[in-house]
Structure 1
């Protein structure tokens, strides 16, 4: 008997108490609430298990000889497309022009509607390809040597007239496309530097009248991955009764995004600081929007990972078991409370 009793003591499922075998309305209510809670928690845990999470790792950037893609999508509401140019310069001072680079300019009227399209096959105007630029040098000084003092030819006069009409009509320009540059520090800028100093003077009447107000719809250095944040997207800078040069100092961080499917997406993320330099009457520079970038020597690797199935089972058992235990306790308390409330009334009837 002693052995049998000892074995019985290991029974983890003793017979339920008598009140638990009785079906009541309060027990039904608690059961329904418990089932709803368990179903909700089960779906939550299932979604938690299916959803991936990311792990960040850092390492030294060992990439060499690759290009850096720069995706541009900007609007200049106060500059016609005929005067707007895109220049790309690397740290050596030479222009980097890629034949595969695609840049488009869309003419826009004063209401922001597209009225024409122009494709730029070369990023830099022909008269600038032989010159070296840096951030603080005025391009117009180099242009003076090529200007014929005898006057403008018919094509130049037609361009001046056309641009003046576009300015009077409130035309703007939207620039979008991809620049493929070398993976070295450099800058690209959007400006009226494609014009020589005399043509620009004839059109605008001075650098203070060049309005480089702009809206950055999208600026990125590679394809987008889940969760990426490009800090310049949606940036709006509108100048009123003033002019100047905008400079965006960008620190690019090479990034690899590894999907759960083991696919690797090479891209870049970046941080930025902004500086605005207003024009003054002694400034010989013409307004522009500069993006000066440098690359970090550290690569960030972002991996998608999923929680293990055993982890999911552990959490599921804890959640469902805990809910079942709590609802059982709640049913027991409600049964005892109702029993205590109904017993005195029952004694009064038998008397």
Structure 2
């Protein structure tokens, strides 16, 4: 194929003859400096391209008929496991006695070491409707005996719990609780005890220390970047006891990975409130988690930057660095030349 004579006029990179080129030490230094900058910027742009970022979208929550998983992991350093119970109730007032649960209670000594375990197959008080510790009306059915007619099992329990309290035993509650996907609450307290047994053990509600450490509380599996505001929360009571209430707003969330895998989960925000026990109160201290669901679903998508966008940025960075080092080389060459020409020339003899 013959060459087109006029094609070379479009050459944007004309080459000079070798004898017209002059290489200097300053030019070499600038070149090395420029190569280091180019390599550094190239690595930075490559990491920027390979790093994923997330986009957030909001839409109306259309889910129906699903359950809400609640992952619990918290410790009560001043209450033995024998007196602790977990109770869940939804907004209609129905106790969640028919839901699948997977909750464990771990006995802790005063140093926090595990000394025993107990599996809870039934979390809630099935007789909760027959007696209430947290209101002014204390009802009891015919199975609830007055204080002076304690049976042998009740006496054994009182002695066992008192011994555990003297030994400084605590309890750790962890596992998962599935509840209906409606507003409701769950709480951990001594409400599972017969009220007369509780009075015999603690000699008043003001002596029930509900100090607790929330190691983890979440409403679904974790995804990259999630922050659960109650994780590693410590609330220790030193004087008067009381009830802790955590008002939680659950936000349904979907996390979409680059692989198109979808992870359904939930985020939440929380507001904390503490109600101290007063001598005239007939309520019992507890730790309440009152939750409600947002009608808005947040979708978080993992995205990766476009390859052509990466090439464009790379060309701009490398080309700009090359142009700047070229200008620096010309300035240094002119400065060195001007300094050299101003010095008197020595005559060789």
TM-score (norm 1): 0.92
Aligned residues: 345
Q: CA deviation at 1:94?
A: 1.1
Q: CA deviation at 1:241?
A: 1.3
Change (3 A) 1:171 1:318: same
Q: Please name the residue that 1:347 is paired with.
A: 345
Q: Please name the residue that 2:135 is paired with.
A: 138
* Partners of 1:103 and 1:178 within 8 A in 2: yes
Unaligned 5+ segments in structure 1 are: none
Looking at structure 1, the residues matched to 120 and 16 of structure 2 have their Cα atoms a distance apart, in angstroms, of: 83
SS of equivalent to 1:347: coil
Q: Please name the residue that 2:34 is paired with.
A: 34
* Partners of 1:144 and 1:196 within 8 A in 2: no
* Partners of 1:106 and 1:174 within 8 A in 2: yes
List per-residue Cα deviations over 1:30-62 (Å, max 9, x = no partner): 112111111111111111111111111111111
Change (3 A) 1:140 1:335: farther
Question: Superposition RMSD on alpha carbons, in Å?
Answer: 2.4
* Partners of 2:131 and 2:140 within 8 A in 1: no
* Partners of 1:247 and 1:276 within 8 A in 2: yes
SS of equivalent to 2:150: coil
List per-residue Cα deviations over 1:218-262 (Å, max 9, x = no partner): 000000111111111111111001100000000101000011110
List per-residue Cα deviations over 1:265-289 (Å, max 9, x = no partner): 0000011101000000111100000
SS of equivalent to 2:192: coil
Looking at structure 1, the residues matched to 51 and 20 of structure 2 have their Cα atoms a distance apart, in angstroms, of: 39
SS of equivalent to 1:141: coil
Unaligned 5+ segments in structure 2 are: none
Q: Please name the residue that 2:103 is paired with.
A: 103
Q: CA deviation at 1:349?
A: 3.7
Q: How does 1:1-351 map to 2 (within 5 A)?
A: 10-15=10-15, 21-98=21-98, 100-128=100-128, 131=130, 137-138=134-135, 141-143=138-140, 146-149=143-146, 150-345=148-343, 347-349=345-347
Q: CA deviation at 1:148?
A: 1.1
